[in-house]
Amino acid sequence: MVVNSVHWFRKGLRLHDNPALQEALNGADTVRCVYILDPWFAGSANVGVNRWRFLLESLEDLDSSLRKLNSRLFVVRGQPTDVFPRLFKEWNITRLTFEYDSEPYGRERDGAIIKMAQEFGVETMVRNSHTLYNLDKIIEMNNNRPPLTFKRFQAIVSRLELPRKPLPTITPEQMDGCRVRIADNHDEHYSVPSLEELGFKNVSQADAVWKGGESEALERLNKHLDRKAWVANFERPRINMLSLLASPTGLSPYLRFGCLSCRVFYYNLRDLYMKLRKRCSPPLSLFGQLLWREFFYTAATTNPAFDRMEGNPVCVQIPWDHNPEALAKWAEGRTGFPWIDAIMTQLRQEGWIHHLARHAVACFLTRGDLWISWECGMKVFEELLLDADWSVNAGSWMWLSCSAFFQQFFHCYCPVGFGKRTDPSGDYIRRYIPKLKDYPNRYIYEPWNAPESVQKAANCVVGVDYPKPMINHAESSRLNIERMKQVYQQLSHYRGLSLLASVPTIQEEVEPSLSDDSQASGSSTPGVQTTPQTTTTATKTTTDAEAATPPPAIVVTSSSTATPVSAVPLASAPPGIAAQAQRKRSWPTELQSAQRCSQSKLQHTSKPSTGQE
């Protein structure tokens, strides 16, 4: 029997450690590698130019690697449900392979494609390589519920066997046995589109800080592993201004798009550690960021409402404010707080920010200052952040807003003091807000306090050339802590839990995180940090808690299996953000698929830029 295979790339944009692609090649007469993209949808998607560029570069790199194997990548325009029936007939396909997608949307999409393939008599083979572990097995070992504390998750993982070893890269010999004739007009029909074709005009390639693709990912991995002394000593690097900038060893976007296998990264780290430590087995905490990624994937896999507050059994129902104007100022870097504005400007320009910078802007938007829903911030990150994916992005925002996994709401980042401690000279602000470059160090974090003569000498008058602070941090943070206190008091009443009495004293000690830039693996996740010293009463507030790094994720429960803390809405809370648009049954690209799970889309008012971007 003739076997004609199609391998469907979504995530997993690589030739190394690709079990599903290996299955496509196994015993096949022909193999075609396909990526499906809907250019029409690209213009309306909530995905920024940096994310699209990274994807297209990754596809170009994949096509280049396949060319070296005398094959090509077929980028097919359309939607899977429309494309596959045509390809099955045109290419006489008998086998379809693709990587397992653990997220609820992906499971639904893939179920529909598998059913369709069966109707055409096409065998479907699905293999997992985007996560280290079998997430269903983790849930099964936790009484058929996702573990909702990181400590519980680690306890389960420690009882599992090591992740499967990565598979080797596809070889020319493998591809030679199932080669397909490539038509002379291949590029006319199946080439990787340009940004211009997707609707992005006048985009300068010089603007890109991160280059997409498997080749770049493996080069960065080698540089990352060259830091042998750091891996061996497992020291926490000191955070400074340079830590806030994109690093040539950063890996998180490559893990998100599957340009780098998480198993390859895991075993390279493990083997290097054991070599330098005389065969000593590494602690789980060496893989901290990879495990945070797995933790959020596990929490989300059976929860279609994971990316929203309403209907989400793990999310506290908080009566957030609806303030589109304030949201726009935050998203566009016009808050009047240079530390916050510099971070949001870097995110918009480059598509990446340090994990502590993510903590700062997330706290400012939600429970720290503006009291705006984490869902709004999640959608901005979904648009701009290269390494944002559905599970990790939503989980991180719930964590940082004290909506799930973590309830120490009395710790609040100061938008002035936190930055001062990280970069006392303010060079990071000068880099991303050049209007403030001539301010002396003393005033650069709070230019509104500078005398008028200093402001004029710096050619930047607050309220004219740079915005005044949009809010009084000291007052708003105190008010918001009281609001959070009321939320948890009422939640305690409904759930019969003594949350406020127990939150400050329950600690889950986790060893320091793996990397200073959190790029090493899935940096949308919170950094794995040691827990700061807690207070003895719940009423003590700490508005300048940035002196210590944030604590690990905590869910207060009466047992180690972690009962969801928010199934009951608060009596005094107005309805949460309403779901506005029903999800359409169309699946254009993996880059866009996360948005399909969101039933509401970010809407923020576009304001004229003040020039600080």
- pLDDT (tens digit, 9 = 90+) per residue, 169-194? 999 999 998 989 999 999 999 999 99
- pLDDT (tens digit, 9 = 90+) per residue, 443-495? 999 999 999 999 999 999 999 999 999 999 999 999 999 999 999 888 876 55
- pLDDT (tens digit, 9 = 90+) per residue, 365-374? 999 999 999 9
Q: What is the Cα–Cα distance from 253 to 260, expressed in whole angstroms?
A: 9
Q: What is the Cα–Cα distance from 521 to 253, expressed in whole angstroms?
A: 8
pLDDT value for 606: 35
Which helix (H) or strand (E) segment is 5 a member of? strand 4-9
pLDDT value for 144: 96
Is-contact 265 251, C-beta < 8 A? Answer: yes
pLDDT value for 41: 60
pLDDT value for 602: 36
Return the closest-CA partner of residue 343 out of 411, 422, 398. 422
Provide the 8-state DSSP code for 504. Answer: T
Confidence (pTM): 0.82
pLDDT value for 229: 60
- pLDDT (tens digit, 9 = 90+) per residue, 548-604? 333 333 222 222 333 333 333 333 333 332 333 333 334 445 555 444 444 333 333
pLDDT value for 228: 64
pLDDT value for 585: 33
- Report how far Cα 518 is from the mean position of its chain's Cα atoms: 11
All residue ranges of the chain with pLDDT < 50 are 496-588, 593-613
Q: What is the Cα–Cα distance from 355 to 231, expressed in whole angstroms?
A: 20
- H-type alpha helices, 426-531: 427-432, 452-457, 473-495, 499-502
